A and B are shown apart, each in its own frame.
Chain A
Amino acid sequence: MILVQAPVFNVQLLLDGLFIGATFALAAYGLALVWGVMNVKNLAQGDFVIMGGYIAWWLGTQGIHPLWGLPVAIVVMFAFGWGIYVTIIRRVIDKDLFTSLLATFGLAIVIAQLLNLMFGPEVQTAESDFAIRQILGVVTVAEIKVLAFVLCGLLALAVVIFMKKSRMGQAIRATAQDARAARVMGIDTDKVYAFTFSLNAAICGAAGAMISMIWVIQPFYGISYSIRSFVIVTAAGFGNLPGVIMAGLGLGMMENYSGFVLGAEFQQATVVGLLLLVLVWRQIQQRKLRQVVS
């Protein structure tokens, strides 16, 4: 085993997992937000991510540095999210849970196919032209990955501060606690929902722009990002930002390890397997809470 012979190689795997895990955590935080505030399970989450990635990649092909894609993706995806809210999400928000799930699944199909028609099914990556450094002898670290990691952290911090300090952030938190009471207090919950959903889309777009630079994007990769987000949120619970971050980073590392040890074709299966494990584990926990009357 190379992992035992060259222990330093573990560092490589862990670091790569950490860098990619940060973007997972970002997308998952968006999902937790929408889930917690609006009780909408957004299965198009991953496709928002991929859309953001294509925005950055497309700017890269136009001769603009893909890092500029980050703010562009945030703005474009915010507007896109608002549009989706007005056309679709507003109508499913108070229907039963499966409706929102299926509607966003239909949305996921539409986005993935439109991206496929526009950009083709090839795997793409945005060239950022940053140097790749060597540390500890064999471990390579691309500067762009470090930069993306830092940017992810800053973004998460910005969102947290926004939620804590701004009027809109307070309104969002109030609505999450009790939508009816918030409405009575004069909060325009429809606007809050629209803003939350758009904010989620913008966060996803930012994560996607990062992923397009540090990893690869493809129109149909969306569903695996959606599943990752669900894994993370179900494991951490919503409203638990540190948990989301830890679960995201952990998932990134775990995926990297299993992809290396078992082979790349198991990487997706690992994510899904983890989802099932988390669901079963939570169920066992719940069963403990259940009182047995015999």
Chain B
Amino acid sequence: MNKNFSFKLHFPILVFGIAAPFLFPGLQLQFATLWVMVLFALTWDIMGGQMGYNSLGNIFFFGVGMYTSVLFQVGQFAEIGAYTAAHGGDSFTFTNAEYYQGLVIGIIMSGVVAAITAALLGWTVFGLRGPYFAIGTLGMAIAAGELMGTWEWVGAGSGISVPVFPGSAYARSLLFYFLCFGAAVLTFVAVQWIYKTRFGLAVNAIRDDEEKAEAMGIHTLRYKTVAWSISAFFVGISGALFGNITGIIEPLEVAFPTVTFGIFMVAMTLLGGKGTLWGPVLGAILFHTLKEVTWTYFLGWQWVALGVLIIVNVVFFQQGIMGWLMEKFPEKFGIVVENKEATR
């Protein structure tokens, strides 16, 4: 991608990201969700766009991160079984120091545990190719939600509540806004860096032809597992943040929202253009803004609209916005059109 083009986008987004909570104080949490969406799309694209492994169950790591975070946040200072039995925050209070210590450790551990889970699962899941992989991961995420809903120790179906933020509501939303924004920026920088390295090339090689890549000496399973772990690490962190924003973690709707966030991340990436760096970002911003603005006017038809959007996107507009731009103006992206000579 052209450097010039990238900088034109970097700067306004950074400025907007920092200024947004002060410009629109009432919408801080909506904007925080926007950055989580950007993160989702970016991490999904590592797998789906760059490596050609279309996972429908990446949301699994969102739930893993969320539960890990709350378990570390609570578990350091209280017995979790007693905590969930008492339904959380009412009878247990955390001091400021305890809260922040828990939060920091919880966020870090959520990423680490999610990445380790991905690495462990990778050994079984990556034997699956194409549609089997998609369905297998989808099944995994659904099963995780169902099983978490039966586990009494973490609150079963009624969920587990996150420690209450010690400060004002404004400070809370500001803190989590910037955490989400920071996580999204971190993800973007990391992903941008990865795509420039040998690792990125190897991952692309797996997408283009896995057998050939293996024949060229790329240890595909290792690359796939690492790519999935990277993806899971960031999704896990976003899970920790989102769990703290919602305040109560319920297994089916909040922690493992397979049919909402799990599908959004795919839809957003496809809308923006998979396999590109900026596509997921643009797709997520566009999708989330449209959704937030129009969602309430649909009166129950919003899900139908979402489904139709997915169908139309997949069937008629598969290359996405970035892909379309690249086709239309290849010169702007530093792509040299080689067959110009031939057509003359």
Residues on A close to B: CB < 8 A? Answer: 41, 43, 88, 91-92, 95, 97-99, 101-103, 105-110, 112-114, 116-117, 223, 227, 230, 234, 263, 265-266, 268-269, 272-273, 275-276, 279-280, 283, 286-287
B26 proximal to A (CB < 8 A): no
Instruction: Indicate whether A269 sits within 8 Å of B143 (C-beta atoms), given known contacts A105-B310, A110-B304.
Output: yes
Known: A101-B54, A227-B138, A230-B135. 15 other contacts (CB 8 A): A91-B315, A92-B314, A98-B54, A99-B315, A102-B54, A102-B266, A102-B270, A103-B311, A103-B314, A106-B309, A107-B311, A109-B303, A276-B140, A279-B136, A280-B124
By the criterion CB–CB under 8 Å, are B307 and A106 in contact?
yes
By the criterion CB–CB under 8 Å, are B304 and A117 in contact?
yes
Among A101, A113, A116, A287, point to the contact of B127 (Cβ < 8 A).
A287
Measured CB to CB, the closest approach of chain A to B76, in angstroms, equals 30
By the criterion CB–CB under 8 Å, are A272 and B139 in contact?
yes
Residues on B close to A: CB < 8 A? Answer: 54, 56, 124, 127-128, 130-132, 134-136, 138-140, 142-143, 146-147, 149-150, 157, 259, 263, 266, 270, 300-301, 303-304, 306-311, 314-316, 318
By the criterion CB–CB under 8 Å, are B311 and A110 in contact?
yes
B142 cross-chain contacts in A, Cβ below 8 A: 223, 227, 268, 272
Measured CB to CB, the closest approach of chain A to B325, in angstroms, equals 21
B140 cross-chain contacts in A, Cβ below 8 A: 272, 276
By the criterion CB–CB under 8 Å, are A98 and B134 in contact?
yes
Residue of A nearest to B141 (CB): A272
B149 cross-chain contacts in A, Cβ below 8 A: 265
10 intermolecular pairs with C-beta atoms under 8 Å apart? A91-B316, A99-B314, A99-B315, A103-B311, A106-B309, A109-B303, A110-B304, A268-B142, A269-B147, A272-B146
Q: Which 10 A-B pairs have the closest CB atoms?
A: A106-B310, A109-B307, A110-B307, A272-B143, A283-B127, A113-B303, A106-B311, A269-B146, A272-B139, A98-B54
Measured CB to CB, the closest approach of chain B to A100, in angstroms, equals 8
Among A113, A117, A263, A280, point to the contact of B307 (Cβ < 8 A).
A113
B157 cross-chain contacts in A, Cβ below 8 A: 265
Residue of B nearest to A287 (CB): B127
By the criterion CB–CB under 8 Å, are A109 and B263 in contact?
yes
By the criterion CB–CB under 8 Å, are A101 and B306 in contact?
no
A107 cross-chain contacts in B, Cβ below 8 A: 307, 311
B127 cross-chain contacts in A, Cβ below 8 A: 280, 283, 286-287
B56 cross-chain contacts in A, Cβ below 8 A: 105
Residue of A nearest to B124 (CB): A280
Residue of B nearest to A267 (CB): B146
Measured CB to CB, the closest approach of chain B to A153, in angstroms, equals 28
Measured CB to CB, the closest approach of chain A to B167, in angstroms, equals 38
Instruction: Indicate whether A276 sits within 8 Å of B136 (C-beta atoms), given known contacts A41-B131, A113-B304, A283-B128.
Output: yes
CA distance A139 to B308 in the complex (A): 47
By the criterion CB–CB under 8 Å, are B315 and A98 in contact?
no
Measured CB to CB, the closest approach of chain B to A48, in angstroms, equals 15
By the criterion CB–CB under 8 Å, are A103 and B310 in contact?
yes
CA distance A107 to B262 in the complex (A): 16
Residue of B nearest to A102 (CB): B314
Residue of B nearest to A283 (CB): B127
Among B146, B259, B318, point to the contact of A95 (Cβ < 8 A).
B318
Interface centre among A43, A106, A223, A276 (most CB of B within 10 A): A106
A117 cross-chain contacts in B, Cβ below 8 A: 300-301, 304
Interface centre among A92, A234, A272 (most CB of B within 10 A): A272
Residue of B nearest to A106 (CB): B310
Measured CB to CB, the closest approach of chain A to B336, in angstroms, equals 26
Among B128, B130, B136, B147, point to the contact of A98 (Cβ < 8 A).
B130
By the criterion CB–CB under 8 Å, are A101 and B307 in contact?
no
By the criterion CB–CB under 8 Å, are B263 and A105 in contact?
yes
CA distance A105 to B50 in the complex (A): 22
A108 cross-chain contacts in B, Cβ below 8 A: 307
CA distance A105 to B131 in the complex (A): 12
Among B134, B150, B259, B303, point to the contact of A101 (Cβ < 8 A).
B134
A223 cross-chain contacts in B, Cβ below 8 A: 142, 259
CA distance A87 to B130 in the complex (A): 24
CA distance A73 to B135 in the complex (A): 28
B128 cross-chain contacts in A, Cβ below 8 A: 279, 283
CA distance A101 to B127 in the complex (A): 19
By the criterion CB–CB under 8 Å, are A234 and B308 in contact?
no
Residue of A nearest to B140 (CB): A276
By the criterion CB–CB under 8 Å, are A276 and B311 in contact?
no
Instruction: Indicate whether A265 sits within 8 Å of B315 (C-beta atoms), given known contacts A227-B139, A280-B124.
Output: no
By the criterion CB–CB under 8 Å, are A275 and B139 in contact?
yes
By the criterion CB–CB under 8 Å, are B314 and A276 in contact?
no
